[in-house]
Structure 1
Amino acid sequence: MKKAIYKTNINCGGCIATVTPFMEQAKSVEDWSVDTDSKNKLLTVSGANLDKKEVENLVKSAGFEIKEKKGLFSF
């Protein structure tokens, strides 16, 4: 199972409701969640054949910013 973490501006339940239909379209995502309490509003996605570009494009299509976490402390 592959996993990726992104910094986003998805910051409330309404935002999650907005992005949900887009994430449900993601063929490569099996599970996803957003930590709206974290400073960076972390979106965590996982899937056996996770396609990071698909995730990034869907979140942007929903109207949100997204940036992949590359290292332990950087985005």
Structure 2
Amino acid sequence: METIKFKTNIKCGNCIATVTPFLNEAVGEGNWEVDVKDPKKVLTVSAVDAATVRQAIEKAGYKAEPLN
């Protein structure tokens, strides 16, 4: 699996709690983390498909744009 990074609007612990079930279902527990201290709120995911991750984030009500 490759590691993919996304710029998100996930800002706090409550936001992480909201996206957790969606990301755990999409990529598996322990395969992702959000750095809320980074100004870009970077989500790092071990996943096969960036589109799957984006769909999970959007389903939870947040936005994610792949970082280059």
Structure 1: which 5+ runs fail to align? 71-75
Instruction: Indicate the structure (1 or 2) with the bigger Cα radius of gyration.
Output: 1
State the match for 1:62 in structure 2: 60
Identity within the alignment, %: 41
| Structure 2 portions without partners, runs of 5+ | none
Q: Secondary structure at the match of 2:44?
A: strand
CA distance in 2, matches of 1:55, 1:66: 8
Q: Where in structure 2 are the equivalents of 1:20-59 lying within 5 Å? A: 20-27=20-27, 31-47=31-47, 50-59=48-57
| AA matched with 1:7 | K
Distance 1:18 1:52, change over 3 A: same
Q: TM-score, normalised by structure 1?
A: 0.83
Aligned residues: 68
Normalized per residue, the structure richer in helix is 2
Moved over 4 A (4+): 27-30
Contact kept, 8 Å, 1:32 with 1:45, in 2: the verdict is yes
Question: If the length of structure 2 is used for normalisation, what is the TM-score?
Answer: 0.91
- Three-state SS of the structure 1 residue aligned to 2:34 is strand
